[in-house]
Structures are given as C-alpha cells and as structure tokens.
Amino acid sequence: TFAVPSWPGTLVWSPDGKSLAFTLFVPDAEPPSFLQQAVDAAEGSLERPADAQWAAPVQVTQVERYRQDGGGWLKSGHRHLFVLSVVDGTVRQVGSEPFDDSDPAWLPDGKRLLFTSDRRPGREHMYPVSAIYMTDMSGDATRVTHGNDSYYDPKLSPDGQWIAYIKIPSRQASYTRSDLYVMHADGTEPRQLAAALDRDLSGAAWAADSRGVYAKFDDHGVSCLGLFDLNGHSKTLVSGLGGRFS
C-alpha cells in the first residue's frame, strides 16, 4: 500500500505489468514566506472574544496564478512523475525540477517514459503550451518536440518507431482544433493523420501492428471511433456510441 498526499493522475501500466507510472502533486517543502510569517504572528497576538466569529486567516501569495474556479486557493507545489513497483512496493519519483508533468506513457523497453510539460522560462506570464519529453528513471529528460504549439497524450507505437500525439496549434484563440499527428521516435518528420477531418480528436491508441492509430471524435453530437493509418487514410469504425468512452 502506498499512501499518497493527493489524488494520483494518469495511471499507466508498464509493458511487463510490473510497474505503474502516474503523476502526483507534491507540495513545496519551502517554509512560509517572511511576510506570511509576519501576518500569522500579528493575527496570533490579537485578543479574540470567545463568542466572536472570525474570518478565515489572511493568506499571502507571491505568484500570479494563486486560485482557481471551483478549487479555491492553489497549494504551492508541482505535479511530478512517479513509478510504483508492484513487485516490492517501492515508489520512485522521476525528476524533481520545479515543473508540472503530465501524460506519462511507457516506452516498450519499460525503462523510459514519454510525458508532456511546459518548461519555458517565464511560463507564468505566457499563453500555456506543452512539449513532449522523454526521460529515464533518473529523471534526465530530453525534449522531443519543438516550437510554440501544444502537444498532448504521446503514445509510442508497439514497434518503437513512431510517436502518436495530439497537437493544438498555438494561435492564442478561444478555440483551436486538436489534431492527430505521428512522428518518428526521435521527434523528426511530424505527419498529420486526419487533415481532412474537421473534428477534434483525442484518446490516441496504437493498433497492434503499428500501422494505424485509433482516436475518438464527435460528429454532429455523436461519439465516434476512427482508425487512421500512417498514409493519411481513415475510416470510422463505430458511431452512435453516446455518453463517454475510452
């Protein structure tokens, strides 16, 4: 049993079924700022009548994004990658740099992971984007994609030759279509698989023979599942599913 301080996300089994990769929010270990300590000390020195109804304590923030609709005040910290061994129960944190990591996906060797992250300097003041990275278990990450577009949900093909992913062009608009792409495992020669389909695509999953990618999309309010081959051909396998599916 592994006790976690927050709810884990994106649990993914390793190819051999012996490890589980996931993301987990880790609070910062830094002590409260000097200003917060001063405010706490001042509030603690006040005489409080027993029957008084006091407001919540004052919170001091020094970051631009400090609260969220439906979530309230955000805790200081970052979402990191973790790997849990189901053989002996050990847990390893993969990397500890001050970035938020998402979308873990195993490589066939079971020793490396793909993931997405925004690691640009000054990203707090920029339109959010994410790039695809590759890391070993030591946390030594290498960036796979480049440019200002956003990349999500990377999946390596069973033969290890291709990476499928969802790409959203960086147009800084209220809505931009999400497209399905593949590229070589080293990040070269990106290729759009569904250029003719004017629909948002998500949930990429490789076919067993590595010759195509399954993805889901909505068409006129109907949920569909399609298969997109590496040459740009596609076909709808199932439609009229309704509700949510994965």
Provide the pairing of β-strand 141-143 with 150-156.
unpaired
Residue 112's beta-bridge partner residues?
Answer: 136
Q: Measured between alpha carbons, how far is 105 from 94 in angstroms, rounded to an integer?
A: 13
pLDDT at residue number 157: 92
Q: What is the pLDDT of residues 167-178, one digit of tens each?
A: 988 776 777 889
pTM of the predicted protein model: 0.79
pLDDT tens, 4-44?
667 788 899 998 999 999 999 988 776 666 666 666 666 66
- CA 213-218-222 angle, to 5 degrees, is 125
- Nearest Cα to 25, choosing from 74, 60, 86? 74
Q: Residues 208-243: pLDDT tens digits?
A: 999 999 999 998 888 899 999 998 888 989 887 765
**133-142, 171-180, 195-204: the lowest-pLDDT one:** 171-180
Report CA-CA distances (Å) from 157 to 108, 152, 195, 226: 8, 15, 20, 17
Q: CA-to-CA distance for 173 and 127, rounded, in angstroms?
A: 10
Residue 244 in tokens: 């949510």
- Of 3-7, 87-91, 112-116, which range is least confident? 3-7
Q: Which residues pair with 44 in a beta bridge?
A: none
Whether the per-residue pLDDT at 207 is higher than 90: the answer is yes
